[in-house]
Amino acid sequence: MDQIIVQILNGLDKGSAYALIALGLTLIFGTLGVVNFAHGALFMLGAFCAVVFSRLLSLSHEVVDETRTDFLGNPMTVDVPYMHDIFGPEVGASIIDWAVPLSILFSIPVMIAIGFAMERGLIKHFYKRPHADQILVTFGLAIVLQEIIKAFFGANPIQTPAPTAFTGSFDFGAWLGFDPLTIMYPYWRLVYFFFAVVVIGGVFAFLQFTTFGMVVRAGMADRETVGLLGINIDKRFTIMFAVAACVAGLAGVMYAPIVAPNYHMGMDFLVLSFVVVVVGGMGSLTGAVFAGFLLGILESFASMPAIVDLLPGINQIVIYLVAIIILLTRPRGLMGRKGVMEE
Amino acid sequence: MSNKNLTRRGVIKTGAVAGAGLVLPTYLRAQDSGFTNAPTGDTVTLGFNVPQSGPYADEGADELRAFELAVEHLNGGGDGGMLQTFSSKALDGTGILGKKVEFVTGDTQTKSDAARASARSMIEKDGAVMVSGGSSSGVAVAVQALCQEAGIIFMAGLTHSNDTTGKDKKANGFRHFFNSYMSGAALAPILVDQYGADRKAYHLTADYNWGYTTEEAMASSTEALGWETVNSVKTPLTQTDFSSYIAPVLNSGADVLVLNHYGGNMVNSLTNAVQFGLREAEANGKKFEIVVPLYSELMARGAGQNIAGILGSQNWDWKLENQLGDRYSGTNAFVQSFGEKYGFPPSQAAHTCYVQTLLYADAVTRAGSFQPCAVVEALEGFEFDGLGNGPTTYRAEDHQCFKDVVVVRGKENPENEFDLVEIVEVTPTEQVTYAPDHPQFAGGALGSCNNGA
């Protein structure tokens, strides 16, 4: 029983990331009709927003410490962060410690700007082109973005720790009445799950309860009619692209302490997120979120030693296996709408 | 084909072109001295095949820095680095056999096919007489086999799998870096000493060649000293989040987690293990411990504070001579040259590549020829010192270097990003030496050296 709870918990944080990325993908597909293979790169850029912001906060000036020597025997130069100079060592250190959560504030305008530039600069030219062209250009863009990141940050993962207050693990076992230390779950992953729930809830509320959201939903259902009513739907869809980029970026920012950011992390999530979208049903936002959590948990279960011993390699194919079964039995996915990607 | 296309002129033209095509390679070979890419002018070209893109690009960049430094020193530039401390005095800073050393580089991308393609290009197009570098055993084995076929000497870079000088060994290939068996043999006694003999280990192993040999080496070495292996789980090489593999460890009855991972895998699995509280946990009444058999400074930088207190092994460390004295002479000379040129200390990947280049140049000079079989003969059984690892031997039976192995531990309070590990102990050569026919190295044969051409 405890193992099952452990794997459900593990699936939740991975599922949260899948759900956030798939939500953005579905938003873009539903509004603009574009299959955006660069969406994983937006997730990666988000994670690197956390890296950049951490580095900005840690910007230092060098002070020569005559009492110590470096590896060549010269007097050692010690880096003193400007934050320490401005706020004093204690407050300065706390600000640097909280770099990842603070990065959210930094990444929102950055990701919106990136989303805006991406849509206006490149993707809008491909609206009327076949899906194959859109896939090729966005895939190419993803490769360009990750190579740029590699050129600046190198190929190795960059550790971006969570605030010290969240570094430990929560003893779920003791909390649920099992033996202590049997079900441990890192605090930050809990934070990530709740953060994902809040962001997903926010996007749904935005679409459901605002006039803007209502127009966007109407545009998703029938773009032409909304246009005929004199509403500039293209402008709203551009904003939705930026919102989707921001959601993927935020997912990346908060994921940075879970898996150290590296230039390739977007690609790792991209393919799985597409499977999530297809399983959830093309164009269905609730389907994307539901499928994200479902596949995250399934993947987690399939990695249990007992199951891998029974079916070696199942952990690597389970998501695709489930996708095949669902598409065979429900060709539109779990919550797919009629007519989407079917013409 | 219809007959009306077949004209006398056409037949003569085709014949001439085909004839020239057949004759050309023979002509190219005819000007050498019976081996592939024999240098004819006043320069000699070496091929440095390193990962310039892909997950180990940072290690590749450090290897390339070391190669450039080695070439500079061979040509008489800079401060001479380890040429000053090397026990063999054959090299005098005038290139190799009086020929100025030039080099070409290739990108392995840490993919066997890409690495073979770039090595082939360096051999066939650029005329490289030796190929070196790399940061993966899969790549090393693939390029080594190619060099054997082509009649080129392969001086392996960072490759740790037993198979490189085990079942996949080749007469034209040489490895200075240590291997999985040596990591196990060096680490096991120290693990028992530090954590006790009554321990239960859980292995997470990267699902490829290097992972298997490292797991086998670690399990057999620790079991021989009383440890029990509770479980071993293979993890996909592409895995980034190891939480579903880490979570069951605490309930498995194990009290030690051995991470047979390298590169990004190591950074991520270790980070996950620390996040799940394994460092603070207790099992079987003992403090839970984590072991990383193969350490790398560059990976340690990636793992940050998570490596604090974790034991592992290394081929070399830039602090060796400062901390353990003259036995490791050459270390400071290399660190000085490298540090002055690049502003930070070299990694073990850089060290092994620098040393391999010097060893090749030295062997050619002592043999008086670039001919691969003469170089092989000069390297086989070669005993040397002053290259940073203490007294070292290139064993003739498998072309593996035998030398001390460094056991390190992640520092609790590192002073800077280059000083992340502390040397715990150096395991002497005798303790990590094995018979050439040891079961972990069984199968395969060196074969005979190939001059190519």
Q: Report the distance separating Cα B165 and Cα B140, nearest Å.
A: 10
Touching B: A residues 280-299, CB under 8 Å: 299
Asked if B301 lies within 8 A of A2 by C-beta distance, the reply is no
Closest CA to A33 of A179, A170, A221: A221
pLDDT, tens only, A137-167: 999 999 999 999 988 998 878 889 899 999 8
pLDDT at B1 over 50: no
Burial degree of A77 (CB within 10 A; 0-12, 13-18, 19+): middle
User: Do the Cβ atoms of B215 and B260 come closer than 8 Å?
Assistant: yes
Residues of A in contact with B267 (CB under 8 A): 156-157, 159, 260
Residues of B in contact with A270 (CB under 8 A): none
pLDDT, tens only, B110-119: 899 999 999 9
Of A10, A188, A259, the CB nearest to B240: A259
Residues of A in contact with B234 (CB under 8 A): 308
Q: What is this structure's pTM?
A: 0.84
Q: Report the distance separating Cα B191 and Cα B177, nearest Å.
A: 22
Q: What is the 3-state secondary structure (H, E, C) of chain A?
A: CHHHHHHHHHHHHHHHHHHHHHHHHHHHHHHHCCCCCCHHHHHHHHHHHHHHHHHHHCCEEEEEEEEEECCCCCEEEEEEEHHHHHHHHHHHHHHHHCHHHHHHHHHHHHHHHHHHHHHHHCHHHHCCCCHHHHHHHHHHHHHHHHHHHHHHHCCCCCCCCCCHHHCCEEEHHHHHCCCCCCCEEEHHHHHHHHHHHHHHHHHHHHHHHCHHHHHHHHHHHCHHHHHHCCCCHHHHHHHHHHHHHHHHHHHHHHHCCCCCCCCCHHHHHHHHHHHHHHHHCCCCHHHHHHHHHHHHHHHHHHCCHHHHHHCCCHHHHHHHHHHHHHHHHCCCCCCCCCCCCCC
With an 8 Å Cβ cutoff, is A101 touching chain B? no
User: Do the Cβ atoms of A121 and A19 come closer than 8 Å?
Assistant: no
With an 8 Å Cβ cutoff, is B306 touching chain A? yes
Say which DSSP state B163 is in.
Answer: G
Kindly list the distances between the CA atom of residue A300 and the CA atoms of A10, A80, A143, A294, B401, in Å, as whole numbers in the listed order: 6, 43, 28, 10, 43
Residues of B in contact with A11 (CB under 8 A): 244
Query: Domains of chain B (ranges plus CATH)?
Result: 43-178+320-403 (3.40.50.2300), 181-314 (3.40.50.2300)
Asked if A186 lies within 8 A of B267 by C-beta distance, the reply is no
pLDDT of residue B32: 46
pLDDT, tens only, B280-318: 888 899 999 999 999 988 888 878 888 999 999 999 999
Q: Which one is predicted more confidently, B388 or B279?
A: B388
pLDDT at B453 over 80: no
pLDDT, tens only, B252-278: 899 999 999 998 888 889 988 988 888
With an 8 Å Cβ cutoff, is B268 touching chain A? yes
pLDDT, tens only, B315-358: 999 999 999 999 999 999 999 999 999 989 999 999 999 999 99
Q: What is the DSSP string of B51-116?
A: -SSSTTHHHHHHHHHHHHHHHHHHTT-TT-GGGTT-S-----SS-BTTBEEEEEEEE-TT-HHHHH
pLDDT at B24 over 80: no
Mutation site, B136, B231, B234, B241, interface A, largest A CB count within 10 A: B241
Q: How far is A124 from chain B (nearest CA, A)?
A: 31
Of A6, A150, A260, the CB nearest to B247: A6
Closest CA to B50 of B111, B129, B141: B111
Q: Which two tokens stand for residue B88?
A: 């063999």
Residues of B in contact with A264 (CB under 8 A): 55
| Domain range A2-55+89-329, CATH class | mainly alpha
Closest CA to B307 of B283, B291, B318: B291
Q: What percent of chain B lies above the pLDDT cut of 90?
A: 74
pLDDT of residue A67: 84
User: Where do the domains of chain A lie?
Assistant: 2-55+89-329
> One-letter amino acid identity for A25?
L
SS3 B328: helix
Instruction: Please give the residue of chain A at the shortest CA–CA distance from B233.
Output: A305
Residue B30 pLDDT level (bands cut at 50, 70, 90): very low
pLDDT, tens only, A36-56: 899 999 999 999 999 999 999
Asked if A169 lies within 8 A of B276 by C-beta distance, the reply is yes
pLDDT of residue B22: 47
Q: Report the distance separating Cα B217 and Cα B195, nearest Å.
A: 19
Tens of pLDDT along chain A (343 residues)?
A: 777 888 888 888 889 999 999 999 888 888 888 888 999 999 999 999 999 999 999 999 989 888 888 888 788 888 899 999 999 999 999 999 999 999 999 999 999 999 999 999 998 898 888 888 989 999 999 999 999 998 899 887 888 989 999 988 888 878 888 777 778 889 999 999 999 999 999 999 999 999 999 988 888 888 888 888 888 888 888 899 999 999 999 999 999 998 889 898 998 888 888 888 889 887 788 999 999 999 999 988 888 877 877 888 787 888 899 999 988 998 888 887 665 555 5
Closest CA to B246 of B199, B293, B307, B203: B203
Closest CA to A181 of B317, B277, B304: B277
Q: Which two tokens stand for residue A329?
A: 């039995």
pLDDT of residue B28: 41
Q: How far is B343 from chain A (nearest CA, A)?
A: 9
Region for residue B27 given its phi and psi (left: phi exceeds 0; alpha: psi -120 to 50; beta: otherwise): alpha
With an 8 Å Cβ cutoff, is B245 touching chain A? yes
Asked if B275 lies within 8 A of A167 by C-beta distance, the reply is yes
Say which DSSP state B448 is in.
Answer: -
With an 8 Å Cβ cutoff, is A1 touching chain B? no
Long-range contacts of B118-124 (CB under 8 A, 24+ apart): B118/B49, B119/B47, B119/B49, B119/B143, B119/B146, B119/B147, B120/B146, B120/B150, B122/B47, B122/B49, B123/B36, B123/B37, B123/B47, B123/B147, B123/B150, B123/B152
pLDDT, tens only, B70-79: 999 999 999 9
Chains A, B: CB pairs < 8 Å: 122
